[in-house]
Structure 1
Amino acid sequence: MPVHPQAYRPATDLLSLGDGFYDPVAAADFPETRLRFRNDRAGREVGLDTLDDREWIAHFARFAPLPGTLPGPLALRYHGHQFRTYNPDLGDGRGFTFAQMRDRQGRLMDLGTKGSGTTPWSRAGDGRLTLKGGMREILATEMLEALGVRTSRTLSLVETGEALERGDEPSPTRSAVLVRLSHSHVRIGTFQRLAYHRDEDGLRALVRYVLDRLYGEASDDPVRLLDLVVERTARLAASYMAAGFVHGVLNSDNINVTGESFDYGPWRFAQAWDPGFTAAYFDHAGLYAFGRQPEAIHWDVMQLAVALRPLVEAEPLIAALDGFATYYQPAVARAILWRLGRTGRDDAADRALVQLVERALRTTGVSIDRFFHDAFAQDLPASYGPEWAEVRTALSPYAPRKARDHAHWAGEPCGMPIGEVEGLWAAIDRDDDWTPLHAKVAAIRAMGAALA
């Protein structure tokens, strides 16, 4: 049996929503399939690590159905606000969901694609993904996972042998199809579409689906759903800040209702604590800048509350939305303390420490990666200068969460500056050399092991 007979637990829960939520589609017939990345660590969690490379390509590039799950690919329907402008013409335009299964924790997981061909929602797009875009998604997901962010996992990347034309990078460029393992692809925009069409029955069905299948609660209470999403997305925003990560495009169609980060386009990791730092060259107003991400995610969740309004009065929805700051403040303290390798003390002391850290990083320009690396490995060295005296004093009562003598901390920080990303791509583009990329993934995973 190609899949692992004990660990593989197929599911078809998505079909329970009915065909008003998706469109059956066919995958592109690619001229070539060259396996470039397979994530057996993620695959092991759902019983797919025992596939050989031939089977892997058959399922994750040719999209032969996996046993016992969805009979074929489904392009999901949704709307969304894009840079605060509502767009009713969205949907899976270059991807689809083609399998569901339970992981070792019992969570319902989706296998979704990027670059798998055109769908009814492609508009003028070609439905493809550049190989560079796929490589960048590997780096984003691996780095975020290592830094404690709840993220989709890049399961597979296969080069597909097409020459793509793109206006924002040198063309023609190489093509790929990516498979992600994700805890659902239901977005805030999925609810927005139903509200736009005044489909109250569909809204109720989706509320039940998310609460039951994704949160494990036998409920159809929209207010309970909103509260759970508020909590999860507040934690997501906090983890972005501790990671120094800028998603780049926090539109409401890119916010998963499980609070799991996914869909990485123009992402960047900030090198300094600059609240105005942006990742997307087209974000001229800085709407999704590093320091504005909590605000942006909260605004998106407000759109979920608006979409749920046909089912419930406004007051309890407003009360649930007001909980975002209540969840966010302790979450950002926990996330930063975790990356510092320290055990929290009490809420007031933890918040005070975080404020000192943020202020010192902002005013001194010390590298985010350098600071967390040094602070985890030891008490802050004297080279940090007098501006860090308050941080050093505030940090001293905090007990280390684990031993600090791991080999990782003896070396240099494992960061993700944009120059290194471009260098990794250059080795692939120029010499078809994937060795530096795989070495970087190994280094990221070593950092994750040292932090975990």
Structure 2
Amino acid sequence: MSEPQATRPDPAILELGDGFYDPVEAAHFAQAIPRFLNRRWARRLGLGDVDWEAHFARFAPLPGNLPRPLALRYHGHQFRHYNPDIGDGRGFLFAQLRDDRNRLLDLGTKGSGQTPYSRFGDGRLTLKGGVREVLATEMLEALGVDTSKSFALFETGESLERNDEPSPTRGAVLTRLSHGHIRIGSFQRLAYFEDAEGIDRLATYCLARLYDEEPDAAPADRAAHLLDRVVSRTATLAASYLAAGFVHGVLNSDNINVTGESFDYGPWRFAPEWDEGFTAAYFDHGGLYAFGRQPEAIHWDVAQLAGCLALVGDEAVLGDLLSDFAPRFQRALVEKLLWRLGIAPAGEADDRTLARAMLAALKTRAVGIDDFFFHWRGGRDGGQQGEAFDALRAALDGRQRPQSHPYWSDPHPCAMLIDEVEALWAPIAGHDDWAPFEAKIAAIRRLADAMTSDAPA
């Protein structure tokens, strides 16, 4: 981690004007009990000495930042059905600031109260939902997925009624750190109103502020430039999910960030085995967002962005960019699979051969995803037999190198399957015992250290 820096507020969202958001007020909570504080990322933002309760439970404005929280406006396809009646319904943008890499990051919330887009919801978050999001983001960060970070989780002292949990259940408010909160659905709303000027303004903002690139002079060129970046980032995101064995669960177009950063975790799961039909959401009856269909789902969402950008761009150019999603995904998948196995790139042909061998071995389902990468990394042999594993051994010959971190000598990998998630929640729900949760966070960060210290050159 970098040395602590001074806080650098940069509320750039205000450049867009009030047609893109609505000022709102945070809910007042009976209590503010800290359950998770991400001090590592606070240091990177210059917030090491912040008053956590004042700013991330009571939402007093940060100095030099947004004077009031903003609920962002957007639409979206939800399970392929267009919904114009959504937006930030239980969260808001609280602040924007620069990190130690000079990236513009957003501090946004989940469970912070009602907004104009809450419809019939109470704007709240269950404590279990907050705990699950912390576990998801920490694990994904360790596995090399570009993800939002859980920044602060406070229990609020409220009792909430929910249909999908034993009720009443405990309430919470979460602050997440993201590289932007502009979604594909943000563009869809503008296209719904045929607001070409607004689309161009938002595209310009994304290029200048989220990609740190000089926007092109012509609107059509800006549209193509942005789509090119989004295609690359989202193709990489899809590849990252597969290499991590992760199922997001709800890849609606309002849940796809134009920076390609994964965020907004609801019914997520990690797949025990390479089962392409494995789903996370109990309501995903047709398997639309199943493990193996995630690249298809994200590509479909990006196609909706291309359609929006066509209001200011050249349809043929945008179509060509969209068609490049598949080859970019394939290249990213090779890169991500090799990275997780600790293998340095050697050349396109050899890398593709190795990636195909890895996938063939995983698809036998003779070994779970986490066990596969743990036991085959660092010059070791997982011990599985059969034609697919013999081919993997041949493809790996001479390419593995020993791993130095003591994590690789553990008896089992650090994983996050659903049974363990429930086991971590049980002592919290039963007798307010947070020790297993805290131990798991420490174990995930140890995994992250091992992945980083022994990453291929």
Percent identity over the alignment? 61
CA distance in 2 between counterparts of 1:145 and 1:46 reads 17
Name 2:176's counterpart in structure 1: 180
Deviation at 1:118, TM superposition (A): 0.3
Letter of the 1:92 counterpart: D
Is the CA contact 1:379–1:396 (under 8 Å) kept in the aligned structure 2? no
Name 1:431's counterpart in structure 2: 431
Deviation at 1:385, TM superposition (A): 5.0
Name 1:147's counterpart in structure 2: 143
Name 2:270's counterpart in structure 1: 269
CA distance in 1 between counterparts of 2:428 and 2:385 reads 37
Letter of the 1:293 counterpart: Q
The counterpart of 1:99, out of the listed 95, 99, 104, is: 95
Name 1:448's counterpart in structure 2: 448
CA distance in 1 between counterparts of 2:187 and 2:388 reads 47
Deviation at 1:10, TM superposition (A): 0.4
Is the CA contact 2:273–2:369 (under 8 Å) kept in the aligned structure 1? yes
Is the CA contact 1:46–1:103 (under 8 Å) kept in the aligned structure 2? yes
Name 1:76's counterpart in structure 2: 72
SS at match of 2:311: helix
Deviation at 1:80, TM superposition (A): 0.4
Deviation at 1:384, TM superposition (A): 4.6
Name 2:48's counterpart in structure 1: 49
Deviation at 1:329, TM superposition (A): 1.1
Name 2:342's counterpart in structure 1: 341
Letter of the 1:378 counterpart: G
CA distance in 1 between counterparts of 2:310 and 2:388 reads 49
Name 2:455's counterpart in structure 1: none
1:62-73 aligned at under 5 Å gives the runs 62-73=58-69
Residue 207, structure 1, aligned to residue 203, structure 2: yes
1:46-445 aligned at under 5 Å gives the runs 46-51=45-50, 55-220=51-216, 221-384=222-385, 387-400=388-401, 403-411=402-410, 412-445=412-445
CA distance in 2 between counterparts of 1:17 and 1:130 reads 32
CA distance in 1 between counterparts of 2:427 and 2:355 reads 39
Is the CA contact 1:273–1:365 (under 8 Å) kept in the aligned structure 2? no
Deviation at 1:7, TM superposition (A): 2.6
RMSD between aligned alpha carbons? 1.2
SS at match of 1:175: strand
The alignment covers a number of residue pairs equal to: 444
Deviation at 1:325, TM superposition (A): 1.5
TM-score, normalised via structure 1 length? 0.96
Is the CA contact 1:344–1:398 (under 8 Å) kept in the aligned structure 2? no
Deviation at 1:5, TM superposition (A): 8.8
Deviation at 1:84, TM superposition (A): 0.5
Deviation at 1:357, TM superposition (A): 1.4
Letter of the 2:35 counterpart: R
CA distance in 2 between counterparts of 1:384 and 1:153 reads 39
Deviation at 1:382, TM superposition (A): 3.0
Deviation at 1:383, TM superposition (A): 4.5
TM-score, normalised via structure 2 length? 0.95
SS at match of 1:157: strand
CA distance in 1 between counterparts of 2:383 and 2:35 reads 44
Deviation at 1:396, TM superposition (A): 1.5
CA distance in 1 between counterparts of 2:379 and 2:434 reads 34
What per-residue deviation string (whole Å, max 9, x for no partner) do you get for residues 131-183 of structure 1?
00000000000000000000000000000011111111111000000000100
CA distance in 1 between counterparts of 2:263 and 2:143 reads 15
Letter of the 1:375 counterpart: W
Is the CA contact 1:379–1:392 (under 8 Å) kept in the aligned structure 2? no
Name 2:219's counterpart in structure 1: none
Mark the runs of 5 or more structure 1 residues left unpaired by the alignment.
none
Is the CA contact 1:364–1:387 (under 8 Å) kept in the aligned structure 2? no
Letter of the 2:28 counterpart: D
Mark the runs of 5 or more structure 2 residues left unpaired by the alignment.
217-221, 453-457
What per-residue deviation string (whole Å, max 9, x for no partner) do you get for residues 66-115 of structure 1?
00011110000000000000000010000000100000111000000000
Deviation at 1:42, TM superposition (A): 1.2
Residue 21, structure 1, aligned to residue 20, structure 2: yes
Distance 1:281 1:365, change over 3 A: farther
